[in-house]
Amino acid sequence: MYFKRKELEKFRSFKGPLIDVRSPSEYYKGHLPNSINIPLFDNDERSKIGTIYKKEGRKKAVIEGLKFFEKKMELLLDNLFMSIESYKTISNKNNEFFIRIYCSRGGMRSQSIAWLLEKYKLNPITLHGGYKIYRKWVLDSFSKKLNIVVIGGKTGTGKTKLLSLIEKYKYQTIDLEGFACHRGSTFGGLGMKEQPSNEQFENQIAEKLNSFKFTKNIFVEAESANIGKCKIPHEFFNQMKNSRRIEIVRSESNRLEELIDTYSVFKKEELQESVLRIKKRLGPQRTKIALESINNERWDLVCKSVLEYYDKCYEYEKVGKTNIKILDLTDKKYDESILELINNLL
């Protein structure tokens, strides 16, 4: 069996295609970003092998796994070679690279594929400890002391817009809503891709943190613990709650304009469904106004009818927060002139 395994830090430092040979369900739950899933066993095959292992032991499970492997070896090789060639095309480099392979614990699945590729005189390496060791690295990263600056503000103040602006000018930012594919409210999923698993959400945050200098400020948008179905890592969220906070203030007309620009592009049915999800909290009167206004394309009335509700929620969420600096952006354009205002608050 092939044993050219590398520790996580060294494994990550090599250049080359990154291959996840676990089953599709394992990959969906969580994987190394930018990895390609070329499963040694599909979900059903992995389940069968696991059952045999529990009932009849390791030897019988390995034999069954080899039977599956024999039937699909040619297809596996085709997929692997396609990924390798794609990497060569994209990287457009002739330098030597390695085929990086990992499975759940750095065991037989990744070693089997590495052994096979070595027969073709390629350069495979496997991850010692597999995805399990990577997840430990992910979770450990949230316990490190971070210089977080939270950007807060009521609905429609343009928090995400400000975050994008300062990222453009090379400030360290983490777009939690972008990673979660959700804006955090009942309307948050409109126009967004399917949300990732919570585990993959955590992986993306950890990877972003890994690219930062922890001595410098890290800007994030104020969020509840949950963004859609994704939950912000507990240790990271605790640091957010106790961090410095910049509170954006804008006029009601500014906020309405922002909300209208964001949500008026969506289908009426989608907007009405979103309103109905919070009808108990909106109350019958506001719900009726919102639904009728959507139907009549009175976007100002739609936004006004939900703004009061979200403002109350936000004021409740802000209770107990200290170390807040006000950033008044009323009638201001979101351009580089804002950067000086931010720097004066830090």
Query: Which H or E element spans position 170?
Result: none
Give the ranges where 169-277 is alpha helix by DSSP (H): 176-180, 198-210, 234-241, 252-263, 268-277
Homologous superfamily in CATH for domain 1-138:
Rhodanese-like domain (3.40.250.10)
CATH number, span 144-345: 3.40.50
Structure tokens at 119: 């027969």
User: Global pTM?
Assistant: 0.89
Reduced DSSP (H G I as helix, E B as strand, rest coil) percent helix, strand, coil of the chain, to 5: 55, 10, 35
Q: Which two tokens stand for residue 211?
A: 């690219």
Stretches in the chain below the pLDDT threshold 70: 1-3, 91-95, 316-321
Q: What is the pLDDT of residue 2?
A: 46
- 103 as an active site residue: the answer is yes
pLDDT of residue 150: 95
pLDDT single digits (tens) 206-224:
999 999 998 999 999 999 8
Packed helices 198-210 and 130-141: angle between N→C axes, nearest 10 degrees: 70
Domain boundary assignment for the chain: 1-138, 144-345
Only one residue has tokens 């690219």, namely 211
Q: What is the pLDDT of residue 181?
A: 93
pLDDT of residue 1: 46
| pLDDT (0 to 100) of residue 290 | 87
CB burial class (10 A; 0-12, 13-18, 19+) of residue 44? Answer: exposed
The pair of three-digit structure tokens given for residue 74, joined into one six-digit string: 């040619």
Pairing of strands 5-6, 36-37: unpaired
Q: Which single residue is written with the structure tokens 């807040």?
A: 324
Give the strands of the sheet with 324-328, arranged side by side: 172-174, 218-221, 148-153, 244-249, 324-328
Judging by DSSP bridges, how do beta strands 18-20 and 36-37 pair with one another? parallel
